[in-house]
Amino acid sequence: MELTLGFSPCPNDTFIFDAMVNGKIDTHGLSFNYVMEDVGTLNAWAEQGKLDITKLSYSTFLHTVNDYALLHSGSALGVGVGPLLVAKSALDMSKISEYKIAIPGFNTTANLLLSLAHPTAKNKSEMIFSDIETAVLDGSYDAGLIIHEGRFTYQAKGLTKLMDLGDWWEQTTHAAIPLGGIVVRRSFDKELSATIDKIIKESIAYSWANYPALAPFVTANAQEMEETVMRKHIDLYVNDYSTDLGETGRNAIITLFDKAKAGGLIKGELPASVFY
């Protein structure tokens, strides 16, 4: 049985999916026709129901939960992993409504956290996450919301941190930060979804068993990223929650849904379970 699968070319995703899409482990009769795209595209495709299995921002999951169910493995979730709001120099955050802000997508978890922390920050424009630092440096934007490897590179590029949205979330909710998850079509039967979940978990285990070696699948797709940055990326975003969300991870996701609903960012009721 062939299934369509979408994930990003970032090191955490290629690390997670390498073994299962490249024939390194038993995939229990399943094959995966995969595509790699930036998070904004994956989110848009999730809203269209384009793929059978996909990585998406938890913010997008809030709006697609009736079509997709969450897997227990593959997530990017944790502590100290949040998006950062940066600028060329310190800005008065009381005037954030006046600032032009570049964001990696309106339906990213990063933007959801910014909207919850600063509801008056409305002057936002979407762009590919890897272009945000340059857009702030050249003066096109007053500030930028950075994710992924930007967390490790912004200072070297001469940018200043205005706010760590992850710290804000952790201090406000005392919960881990749900960034992105792996979902499957809700129409899949429980047995198929459980098999996919198991394969992802085994794929992660394979990559860790061969770490610190970096597979060519990871390095070839890392967009000229330095090896040390790749390792920092993997070490931060692929953690115990990626193998299995556990009770702490599941509670963090429910907290995100609750906060988004209380803030008027989503409407309607959730399914009985956000999981398969």
Q: Which positions make up the binding site?
A: 55-57, 109-110
Q: How far apart are CA 139 and CA 3, in angstroms?
A: 43
List, as residue ranges, the binding site for substrate: 55-57, 109-110
Q: Are 69 and 193 in contact (CB under 8 A)?
A: yes
- How many CA atoms lie less than 13 Å away from 202 in the CB half-sphere? 14
Count of CB atoms within 10 A of residue 129's CB? 26
DSSP string across 193-250 = HHHHHHHHHHHHHHHHHTTTS--HHHHHTSTT--HHHHHHHHHHHSSHHHH--HHHHH
The answer to whether 118 is a known catalytic residue is no
Angle at 200 between CA 79 and CA 217, to 5 degrees: 90
- The one catalytic residue in 63, 118, 148, 233 is 148
Q: Are 81 and 179 in contact (CB under 8 A)?
A: yes
Q: Are 207 and 18 in contact (CB under 8 A)?
A: yes
Residues contacting residue 232 through CB under 8 Å, at least 6 positions apart: 149, 152
Give the dihedral of Cα atoms 92, 93, 97, 99; nearest 10 deg: 60
Q: Which two tokens stand for residue 83?
A: 């998006």
Catalytic machinery residues:
148
